[in-house]
Amino acid sequence: MSKKKSNKRDDSDKAVKIRDIPTINEESSSMGEIKINHTVIASIVKLAALEVPGVVMVAGGFVDELAGMFSKKDSGTGIRVEENENGHYEIMIRVILSFGIELARTAYEIQTSVRDQVSKMTNKDVAKVDVIIDGVKTHESTPEEDKNNWVEPEHTD
């Protein structure tokens, strides 16, 4: 009789390997530092905000656009990311929302979405998310939508 080799791993080895996977934080380790640029955080903020129903766009004020022209630092138009003394993110986002929605509820959903996504992706806490509603916008149809919604008038000849 031949002995069969067991392909089964020892569960204790597996547990050790899982615990050895580093989490993303900005502490030093034997392998070096992991730093996340604030422009990456701004991208996460923008995408998280745009997922919220009722958000038309992330808006930047004139000052943000002007500063972006003269600075290499582009934190995302309409988004500011800073870290407080505890290392937690403090985020400000400017948005344009859809006309007819409940503004306060939508702003709260933006805060929640941004906080959850940034915390999940960076493993760092978000101290606050300030939402500034810069305007509301009605749904404007595109020429393609107009063409598709055109009703041909009846001929009465």
Report the alpha-carbon distance of residue 136 to residue 60 in Å, rounded: 14
> What pLDDT is stored for residue 23 in this prediction?
52
Phi, psi of 119, deg, nearest 5: -65, -45
DSSP state of 134: E
Domains for the chain: give ranges and CATH numbers: 36-139 (3.30.70.1350)
pTM of the model: 0.65
**CB–CB of 58/49 below 8 Å?**
yes
Token representation of residue 28: 């030093």
Report the alpha-carbon distance of residue 135 to residue 60 in Å, rounded: 11
> What pLDDT is stored for residue 33 in this prediction?
85
> What pLDDT is stored for residue 142 in this prediction?
53
Question: With 0-12 CB in 10 A as exposed, 13-18 as middle and 19+ as buried, what is 85?
Answer: exposed
pLDDT digits (tens, 9 = 90+) for 115-139: 999 999 999 999 999 999 999 998 7
**pLDDT(103) > 70:** yes
pLDDT digits (tens, 9 = 90+) for 22-77: 555 555 567 888 889 999 999 999 999 999 999 999 987 555 555 555 554 444 47
β strands within 3-122, DSSP E: 55-58, 79-83, 89-98
For the four alpha carbons of 21, 84, 69 and 78, in that order, the dihedral sign comes to positive
Token representation of residue 45: 């903020």
**pLDDT(15) > 80:** no
> What pLDDT is stored for residue 153 in this prediction?
62
**CB–CB of 107/72 below 8 Å?**
no
